[in-house]
Amino acid sequence: MTMKVVGQRVKRYDGMAHVTGETRFVDDVIVPGTLTVKALRSPVSKGTIKTMDTSSAEAMPGVAGVITAEDVPCNAYGLVPDQPVIADETVRFKGEVVAAVAAVDEDTALEALEKINLEIEEEECVLDPLEAMKPDAPKVRPEGNVFMYDERPFRQIILGDIEAGFKDADVVVENEYVHPSLEHAQLELQTSLAVPAASGKLTIYTVSQALYFHLGQLCGILQMEPDQIQCKSWAPKTGSSWRHNAGFSDVNYIGGTVGGGFGSKNDIHADHVTALLALKTGQPCKWRWTREEDLLYSTFRGAWFITIKDGVKKDGRIVARQMKSIRDAGGYSSLNPYVVDKHSFVATGPYFVPNVQIHGYCVYTNKPPASSMRGFGVTPSVFATELQMDKIAQELGMDPWEVRFINAYRTGDQTPTRRVLNSVALVEVMQKLAEKAGVDLPDKLKNMNSKERGWT
């Protein structure tokens, strides 16, 4: 069976439904009487909420409910549970949710937001992670602007003796790299539909890329026991007309076809708010973000500021690498500490360096939280390390291919995290890539392999 698939063109099981427009997404779920959800967002990057009066909004015809931080059973969530569902007292980024409304239609919901009397005392913010690391920088968080990895303000990776490595080097090559922030811009916006039952149970249709991870977080936010919740996926038949079936007996967290994610839906963006409003109003509630909201306030790939200092021998061997990477995390932790971990673990790329010192920083700023995007921190690390390989080749007057072949991992090498590699084919892969690219490698590179070093 395997040989019938490997190397062959395989038709996507859901491809035809996608291209014909028959695929059903969360926003296609039809529930009679669904209310429209809209959120009031902070107009400032940092501040203290002095007053907020929602009474005029709540009194409007067509408004079924308004929620603030007081309506959240447990107002903290995330991998590091430091982010509020709705801001309480302080705001840490422009666009942070401070209240949410459920109304009969979008126009009514938007009008209700205008009737909420919000007074925020704006405070000095910090938007540059390099500035945020300075001792006298405005505090993004009371405990400080840098995430603590146990007793250290950075993730440290150590291998060998970095000082001895630099002493052994013939040349030191040091460069700075900046990897900008990037937005996923997936086609499907952040969308959530929460449907309550008279029994008090709840069904949530979600765009989540991390169904069970988010389920656990929702248990904490809503203060529901995990064994109350049933997690399943829906997969409606292609072309079928389908509606929500209210005859459920448990709380259901229902994920399905994700209309583009790339990491943008690894964090909860809307499910917690629709769930709270559905439970408060007793009616189905749907929150579909606008494209503007998605671009401005959803999670994204945070910017990186990377410095690499390499000690190199004249024959091209890298004998020492010192790397400092700073991640702009935004106002809350989200998945950033994990992203910094992965970035730091692969800081030497696919190359063997015997002496390594890596410091990866997760720095808070008054911006929307950054989080995952394809690669979880690995992509910016590769971006910097591969540019560094070209810089080394330029400094030594060597072919960039040769520098990579010389330093490529071989079987038995140890990574900076002390993992011993027992199955390596990097040299052979590069040889094949060169062939496909029309690059005629010199014989000494063609004769190398992943079992033996290219130098003695």
The b-or-e profile of 192-201 (16+ CB within 10 A means b, else e) is bbbbbbeeeb
The amino acid present at 99, given as its one-letter code, is A
Q: pLDDT-based confidence at 200, cuts 50/70/90?
A: confident
What is the mean predicted confidence (pLDDT) over 368-377? 96
pLDDT at 365 over 70: yes
What secondary structure does DSSP assign to 309-355, as a single string?
Answer: EEEE-TTS-EEEEEEEEEEEEESS-TTHHHHHHHHHHTTTTTB--SS
Phi, psi of 320 (to 5 degrees): -155, 140
Tell me the residue ranges of DSSP E strands in 216-346. Answer: 229-233, 251-255, 285-288, 304-312, 318-330
Query: N- to C-terminal Cα distance for the chain?
Result: 45
Residue 197 has what pLDDT? 87
Looking at per-residue confidence, does 249 or 200 come out higher? 200
Mean of the per-residue pLDDT values for the chain? 93
Residue 132 has what pLDDT? 98
CB 232 within 8 A of CB 280: no
pTM: 0.92
CB 28 within 8 A of CB 207: no
Which residues touch 122 (CB under 8 Å, ≥6 apart)?
44, 46, 47
Residue 294 has what pLDDT? 98
Question: Which structural domains are found in the chain, ordered by start?
Answer: 26-122+185-297 (3.90.1170.50), 140-182+300-446 (3.30.365.10)
Give 52-74 pLDDT, tens digit per residue: 999 999 999 999 999 999 999 99
Look at the alpha carbons of 225, 226, 229, 234 in this order and tell me if their dihedral is positive or negative: positive
Give 265-309 pLDDT, tens digit per residue: 999 999 999 999 999 999 999 999 999 999 999 999 999 999 999
Angle between helices 378-396 and 400-407 (to 10 degrees): 120
pLDDT at 1 over 70: no
